[in-house]
Structure 1
Amino acid sequence: MTEHRQGLEQERARRAAAERSLQESEQRLRRIFDHSNDAILVIDPAADRILEANARAAEMLGYDAEELISRVTISAVHPQEMPRLRAFAGDVITRGSGWTNELSCTCKDGSRLPSEISASVLSFEGRDCIIAVVRDVTERKAAEEALRRSEERFRAFVENAGDGFFAVDAGGHIRDVNQRACDMLGYGHDDLIGRSVLDIDAGLTAADFTALIDELEVGRPQLLESRHRRQDGGVFPSEVSICAYGNPDAPSYIALLRDISRRKEAEAAIERLAEMGEFAAMIIHQVRNPLATIDLCLEHLAQRSLDERTGRRLALARGESTRLAGLLDEVLSYAGRLDLALSPCDIDALIRELVPTLAARSPVADRDLRVDLGLPGVQVQADADKLVQVLTNLVVNAAEAVAPGEPVTLRTSGSATAPCIEVQNGGEPIPPDVLARIGNPFFSTKGRGNGLGVAYVRRVAAAHHWELTLTSTAEEGTVARLRL
């Protein structure tokens, strides 16, 4: 009896320990169930019922806990997805578990939450049901969509860029290119992928590439000039910007390739023009000496008593000599070096000082020069001497375009950030095709003009990064606008 009683006591203790362990386990599971960051629901798909749900499920769907279990059906949570939900539930019942990210939950307020659902079979009240762990992936979906849009924008940018785009690995092999790179080099996309950069860069050796890669730092691009070879063997001057990105210990590389053939041609043309300018200046200096001698001889002849016919011829020769001297000065101004001495320049004050000199100069002296200053105290960075020459040329040209006594207007307008100088004259409007050519050297609408005055104005304006426009209408007359 004693042994039997002891056995019963031991069995009772084991059962009590097992019950306590089971209660503790249930309590732990309940705490996990109640306090999970994900929604947990026990559902019976066949009966279209939610049998149990945690607080997070009620919060996520916008119901209180009792309402969610007693009144809300599964079809209310997935009103547009029931066929897909039933298929998923059937697969879970068959397999024992399942996962999907193709369903969304409809909240009480009608909003829809993209969801990630992990489910398994659970025996509940004597029948097979499903326990579903539902995670709201709205933020993740939004981030994925933002990333997708960003990648689309980047790809659109790359594919429509004016430069060739290359993704290159540390070994110098091309991993990706845009269409511009293919067009520039004459290869198809697949022909370039996997090819070494040494195959297309005629100015790069293996040692040069290794040294370049060793020097590159992540996020610090380098710009270099080289020569690239097309598939047909032709070579063109190029500019390459290469940058390392990604893991500093094992970076990848992006290179942007630009064909600078036109820039090199422009630079060569500029150098040639500079040489021509120096040559023109040399010729002008050589011509001036004999021209000065001719002037002295003509002046000596003018002091003698000559008959009327000879006097007229002498006056014509002296006038042509003076005109030739003026032309040489204008050519020298246009063709010579244009070095700017920039300093703060008060626009209205400069014009105010210039007006007496302008008004006394032919042919301005015979016209009605009107001055309207509207930028008091406004200053710009400018070469004051060259601005004076520009204004003199514009006003003299305007005066030559109208009859004596007609008005010529010089005005300033705009603001401190967008100042403007205008010179306006009346007369017949200039045809558009002729207006477009004004400013070309040696093109002029005046019988004895040479076009160098406006050409010089354009050159000074370009050197200052100003904008010169010419308009001519019957209503407004001809207006030269200099936006500083």
Structure 2
Amino acid sequence: MRRGLDKPNAKKSPRPAVPAAGAPDAVSRPGQARRRRPRPAARSQAADGLPAAASSAVAGCAKNHSGADPAGLDVGSEFCALFETANDAILILDGLTIVDGNRRASELFGVPIAEIRGRTPIEFSPPLQPDGFPSAEKGAALIASVPSGGIPVFAWRHRRLDGAEFDVDVSLSHFTSAERHLFLAIVRDVSERKSMEAALRESIDQFQLIYENSTDAILWADAETGRIVKANRAAERLWERPREQLVGMHQFELHPPETRDDTRRAFKACLSAPISVDALIWTARGSRVPVEIITSLADIDGRRLVQGQFRDLTERRKAEEALSHREMLYQTLVETTRTGYVVLDEVGRVLDANPEYVRLTGHKDLSEIRGRSVIDWTADYEKEKNARAVEKCARDGQVRDLEIDYVDSRGQVTPIEINATVVETDGARRILTLCRDITERRRAEAALKRERDRAQQYLDTVEAIVVALDTKGHIQLVNRRGCELLGYAEAELIGRDWFATCLPQPEGMAVVFPVFERIMSGNLEAVAYLENSILTRTGETRVIEWHNAYQRDDRGNICGALAAGLDITQRKRAEEEARSRCEELLHREQLATLGTLVAGVAHEINNPANVITMNGPTLEKLLDGLIPILDEVARARADLRVGDAAYSRVRPHLAKLARGVTDAGHRIASIVAALKEFASPEDTTRPPEPVDVNEVVRKALALVAPAIRKSTSQFSVTYGADLPKLSTGRPQQIEQVVINLILNSCQALPGRDKAVRVTTSRTVHSEALVIAVEDEGTGIPAAILHRIKDPFFTTKRGKGGTGLGLSISDSIVTKHGGSLEFTSREGVGTTARIVLPLVGASGATGDRQ
């Protein structure tokens, strides 16, 4: 056995003893009166397998540990085994100090007994107990209040050294060993029980939530007295009484007086088995409400209760009455509209029918067809079709607009239109069928078809597209030429929306459909002639020249539109190409004129610029010689002035002023040279040459620098490092594209605080070079973004725009094997990317700025 009692530190502590576990009722919360349980009898609570007498036996075992009472060795040794094998943890305390414990204590606290001895139970507890009291204070209060007979079981929370917490039940008693006052704590782990209790509480809470929020009223009544003991909120609403009034009422009081005999019989029946019954209840205002009652029995706390679930049937009864009324109206309608009505079983045998249906079958009396299959009077060529329809209706639950020919005994055929629905009635499935004689409709349709075929023959000989639309824009007619051009069969187009199917979007619905609505409103004059595009099945766009007319019904009302159209796509393309060539020639002529003008202006500017360039260095040399002389004079005359300024202030800037004159002359010459190069007609006879995109961007920026400074204070350019040259190309043309993109970006800025950024770079896989121009301008609407490179398309027509800038730019980039790409968001900005493929690229260098 371990020797824990004769350790030097196992002496009685002057402090109040602290238990190994939790707070009894003797401990009060701050601000509350101190409460005590009645003192228990003079006995201690022990663990399973360790009765009350075990306290003295453990004391004997403890004496044997300490050697203080060797005479009791034989008596205590039997209980020492019990001490070690007990199912609960047992601790022996000397004041605050644990002097010994059993194997179960070691398992419970997760450390060897040797590490438990000499420590206090507080070290194995969290700072606060679940009730909010500090563990140290609460433990001290418990030890101090241990009566002579011990403390009955109380709750405590422990914490292992690894931080894991667990709940225990503890009994605490004291005993004397070798004239030492010790405490015996028996500790039982109740963590699993606590978890189960928490789960039970949660389940009860969920049940209570469902019970209180049920849409059905729920009452609990005593099975013996019949009086209500509990009610939910729905019961308050149903009986229009607070639950305080409902509780205590006899269940007979909840029903009208005239139904109490029925209520008494139903209550008696529900005491034997659950029942479901329809009844009336009586509200506080005297209203009688139909309800469905479902009962069950339960024994709760030794008390037999009846639960009643009351469902308000008011709405259902109203619905049933409305259904009955509708059935009556329906029956009247069927009988007065010459509509055949027949009830079939699932295989198509007649169960019931009205006289009109009997007539349609060619018979005189219901008895002649009852029990027979509807296939019997179906024309031979449609028997299989009708049999499949019966099967489909039984399977899918309905059949709509089925046309079948019936034939009578004389061979006379009557075409019938059938609509059928499957219903459940009296536990069986029935097919309810309405049948209508459509003989006259068939004749009218045949006549109409003959007229339509004749008109179609006329229309198919016309090379124009002919389309007839109803008032909603659905296709009623389209001729052969229209089908060929659109790429659809006639059957695929009839009934479809012309504007959504055959016109490109968003133009079809956003632009052309409103024009059609104007025609339908009677305003044909403004749109009798119209040009718009159509979209073929293959996605090709064709331009059609339309001539429109009304369709009118017999009363003269507009019932649709008739349009004849000619395909003018080729003519439009030829016109656009001619206009494009004309505009391009004009553009080139303007450039040539500009080149001539620039050459003359450049010549005039170069003369004074050359004077500045040549005289600048001379002026610098003269100043280099004059400055020392002036310095000598200034030393002799402190008030020496040069012009209106003191020499001492001018002296530091003289050399800089002279150099500035020289630099300005060179700058003028550089700008003039770049302008001449840009404006001069390109020599197309010269072969393409390698293109350094960084140099192209530098030259372009030199020409548009004034426009940039005027438009934005947030301009930046980043040149890609080590970019190769394009193997072949025309630098002047690419420069023209870059200038156009930069000017467009500058013009799109709403203010000078918005940025324009130009970058040159390679693509991710280095297969192409990219010149990107990004701005924070107004952006381009998504609806027109795909059109900005079309010839003559411009949003700046009123500001002198021709719509050719991006079209020509796109043509230039395409000729270089590249692409001109745009991304834009309204209110955010636009990014234009010139992507030029590197095919056989030669080396070139770049830098960043």
Which TM-score tier does this pair reach, normalised by the shorter chain?
A: 0.5 to 0.7
Q: Which residue of 1 aligns with 2:76?
A: 26
Q: Which amino acid aligns with 2:121?
A: I
Cα offset, 1:342, TM superposition: 4.4
Letter aligned with residue 53 of structure 1: G
Q: How many residues of Structure 1 are paired with residues of Structure 2 in the alignment?
A: 304
What amino acid sits opposite 2:179 in the alignment? G
Amino acid at match of 1:37: N
Looking at structure 2, the residues matched to 75 and 229 of structure 1 have their Cα atoms a distance apart, in angstroms, of 64
Say yes or no: does 1:75 pair with 2:122.
yes
One of 263, 267, 270 as aligned partner of 1:213: 270
Partner of 1:184: 238
Deviation sequence 1:125-178 (CA, Å, 0-9, x none): 533221111111101111111111111111111111101111122132111111
Note the 1:113-192 alignment, pairs <5 A: 113-170=166-223, 171-192=225-246
Q: Which of 44, 56, 71 matches 2:104? A: 56
Structure 1 window deviating more from structure 2 (203-212 vs 123-132): it is: 203-212
Question: Are the counterparts in 1 of residues 255 and 280 from structure 2 also a CA contact under 8 Å?
Answer: yes
Contact 2:298 2:304 in 1 (8 A): yes
Q: Equivalent residue for 2:280? A: 227
Aligned equivalents of 1:68 and 1:207: distance in 2? Answer: 70
CA contact (8 A) 2:291 2:311 kept: yes
1:27 offset after TM fit, Å? Answer: 2.5
Report deviation, 1:261: 0.4
Cα gap change, 1:106 to 1:408, in 2 (>3 Å): farther
Equivalent position SS for 2:297: strand
**Using the alignment, how far apart are the partners of 2:145 and 2:284 within structure 1?**
56
Does the CA contact (< 8 Å) of 1:409 and 1:425 recur in 2?
no
Tell me: CA distance 1:176–1:24, structure 2 relative to 1, closer, same or farther (3 Å).
Answer: farther
Identity of aligned residues (%): 20
1:343 has 2:394 as partner: yes
CA contact (8 A) 1:344 1:382 kept: no
Match of 1:302 in 2: none
Partner Cα distance (1:255, 1:125) in 2: 68
SS in 1 for 2:337: helix
Secondary structure of 2:187's aligned partner? strand
Amino acid at match of 1:215: S
Question: What is the aligned partner in structure 1 of residue 475 from structure 2?
Answer: 403
How far apart, in 1, do the equivalents of 2:326 and 2:216 lie? 29
- Could you list the per-position Cα deviations for residues 413-453 of structure 1 after superposition, in whole angstroms to 9, with x for gaps in the alignment? xxxxxxxxxx99426899xxxxxxxxxxxxxxxx99xxxxx
**TM norm structure 2:** 0.32
1:69 offset after TM fit, Å?
A: 1.7
1:239-296 alpha-carbon deviations (Å, 9 max, x no partner): 111111238x97422111111101001000000100111111222249xxxxxxxxxx
Q: Is the 8 A contact 2:271 2:297 kept in 1?
A: no
1:357-396 matched pairs, under 5 angstroms:
none
Q: Which has the larger radius of gyration?
A: 2
The aligned amino acid for 1:152 is D
More off after superposition, 123-132 vs 235-244: 123-132
Cα–Cα, structure 1 residues 25 and 213, in superposed 2: closer, same or farther, change >3 Å?
Answer: farther
Q: Which amino acid aligns with 1:36?
A: A
Task: Rate the CA distance shift 1:20–1:82 in 2: closer, same or farther, 3 A.
Answer: closer
**Cα offset, 1:189, TM superposition:** 1.4
Contact 1:115/1:138 (CA < 8 Å) preserved in 2?
Answer: yes
Q: Does structure 2 retain, via aligned residues, the 8 Å contact 1:42–1:130?
A: yes
Other structure's SS at 1:404 match = strand
State whether structure 2 residue 319 is matched by structure 1 residue 266. yes
RMSD: 4.3
Contact 2:156–2:168 (CA under 8 A) maintained in structure 1: yes
Residues 270-323 of structure 1: per-residue CA shift (max 9 Å, x gap): 00100111111222249xxxxxxxxxxxxxxxxxxxxxxxxxxxxxxxxxxxxx
**What SS does the corresponding residue of 2:475 show, helix, strand or coil?**
coil
Q: In the TM superposition, what is the alpha-carbon distance from 1:85 to its structure 2 partner?
A: 0.9
Asked whether the equivalents of residues 269 and 275 of structure 2 are also in contact (C-alpha less than 8 Å), the reply is: no
* Secondary structure of the corresponding residue to residue 292 of structure 2: strand
- Check conservation: 2:475, 2:495, Cα contact below 8 A: no
Structure 1 residues 383 and 21: CA distance shift in structure 2, 3 A: farther
Amino acid at match of 2:497: G
Distance (whole Å) between structure 2 residues aligned to residue 346 and residue 211 of structure 1:
44
Structure with a larger share of its residues in helix: 1
Letter in 2 for 1:260: L
> Is this contact kept in 2: 1:408–1:424, CA < 8 A?
no
Q: Does 1:198 align with 2:269?
A: no
Letter in 1 for 2:144: G
Judged with a 3 Å threshold, the aligned counterparts in structure 2 of structure 1 residues 125 and 104 are, in CA distance, closer, same or farther, namely: farther
CA distance in 2, matches of 1:345, 1:182: 45
Counterpart check, 1:66 vs 2:114: yes
Unaligned runs of 5+ in 1: 1-18, 287-338, 355-380, 387-397, 412-422, 431-446, 449-484
Write the distance in 1 (CA, Å) between the matches of 2:239 and 2:489: 57
Q: Secondary structure at the residue paired with 1:246?
A: strand
In structure 2, stretches of 5+ residues that fail to align are 1-68, 128-134, 340-389, 404-428, 435-468, 479-487, 501-508, 510-552, 555-849
Match of 1:13 in 2: none
Q: Distance between the aligned counterparts of 1:258 and 1:346, measured in 2?
A: 31
Q: Identify the residue that residue 331 of structure 1 maps to in structure 2.
A: none
Gap change, CA 1:258 and 1:101, over 3 Å in 2 = same
Kindly tell me: are residues 20 and 343 of structure 1, through their superposed partners in 2, closer, same or farther at Cα, counting changes over 3 Å?
farther
Structure 2 contact 220–229 (Cα < 8 Å) conserved: yes
What's the offset of the Cα at 1:201?
2.6
**Alpha-carbon distance, 1:237 to partner:** 0.3
Say whether the 8 Å CA contact 2:93–2:184 is kept in structure 1.
yes
Match for 1:75: what amino acid?
Answer: I
Q: What do the CA deviations read for 1:323-372 (whole angstroms, capped 9, x no partner)?
A: xxxxxxxxxxxxxxxx998434699xx99x99xxxxxxxxxxxxxxxxxx
Selected match of 1:426 from 480, 494, 497: 497
Aligned to 1:86, the other structure's residue is in SS state: helix
- After superposition, the Cα gap between the structure-2 partners of 1:21 and 1:243, relative to the gap in structure 1 and judged at 3 Å, is farther
SS in 2 for 1:231: coil
Question: In the alignment, is the contact (CA less than 8 A) between 1:341 and 1:383 conserved in 2?
Answer: no
Matched ranges for 1:253-292 at <5 A: 253-285=306-338
Measured in 2, the distance between the counterparts of 1:341 and 1:75 equals 80
Other-structure match for 1:335: none
Q: 1:38 touches 1:56 (CA, 8 Å); kept in 2?
A: yes
**Which residue identity does 2:100 align to in structure 1?**
E
CA contact (8 A) 1:85 1:103 kept: no
Whole-Å Cα distance in 2 between the matches of residues 237 and 346 of structure 1? 33
Q: 1:112 aligned to 2:165?
A: yes
Tell me the SS of whatever aligns to 1:253.
strand
Q: Distance in 1 between matches of 2:244 and 2:255?
A: 18
The aligned residue for residue 90 of structure 1 is 144
Q: What amino acid maps onto 1:110 in structure 2?
A: G
How far off its partner does 1:120 sit?
0.7
Whether the 8 Å CA contact 2:126–2:157 is kept in 1: the answer is no
Partner of 1:457: none
Which structure would you say has the larger RCO, counting Cα contacts within 8 Å and 6 or more residues apart?
1
Please give the per-residue CA displacement for 1:28-81, whole angstroms capped at 9, x wherever unaligned: 322221111111101133xx31111111111111011222225x4322112411
